[in-house]
Amino acid sequence: MTTRRTPASGATGSRLWISTLIRQFPELVEELVPSTGGRLRERPGPSSGSGGGAAPVRLYVSDAVRDITDGVCELEEAVRERLGLRPVPAAPVPVRLRRIAGLLDRVDADPVLAAHVEEETRRMAHRCARVLGDTEQMVRLPGRCPRCDSVSLRAFPERAEVRCVNPACRHVLEEQQP
């Protein structure tokens, strides 16, 4: 597997994704709290059919909170281990993210670790944003997929990626090097 660094690569890219997570994760946790008011965002799909009362627990929110929490814990442990640092006590997700951000200058000295940190923080930030209702920008591209010959090429600027969105293919095109 080849890792491509985006234009915002390195410590700068990781700082961007970490700050996004620090800002959005508390909102995600708030979404777990059922409410009888209309504040909760509803996921598109069939209605629950319930006549009112408290909103049901939305499992996709719970799954995202668990995934991001586990991901941040594992990422912090991996970073500290790779840098030869001692383990630190457990802490809430925002605290762990700040601790990782404090190590980014050292992380950036290890290209493999830096790419991993950037990819993981970007993945978690995108998952958090999707659950909160933010949609990822997608641009239709002319031409055909070199693998399946479908006219399903799309650019995802936030990921710096061009991908075939044909469900049978999902080919990711590599960035052209000058």
Q: Dump pLDDT digits (tens) for 95-141.
A: 999 999 999 999 999 999 999 999 999 899 989 988 888 777 778 88
CA distance 58 to 48: 11
CA distance 22 to 28: 11
Residue 110 DSSP symbol: S
Domain ranges of the chain: 11-38+57-131, 136-178
Q: What H or E segment, with its residue span, contains residue 68?
A: helix 59-82
Confidence of residue 7 (pLDDT cuts 50, 70, 90): very low
CA distance 20 to 128: 9
Residue type, position 158, single letter: E
Residue type, position 109, single letter: A
Q: Give the model confidence (pLDDT) of 36-62 as tens digits.
A: 554 445 554 444 444 455 556 678 899
CATH classification code of 136-178:
2.20.25
- pTM, to two decimals: 0.64
For 79, the token pair is 């970073």
Q: What are the residues whose beta carbons fall under 8 Å from the beta carbon of 169, sequence distance 6 or more? A: 145, 147, 148, 150, 152
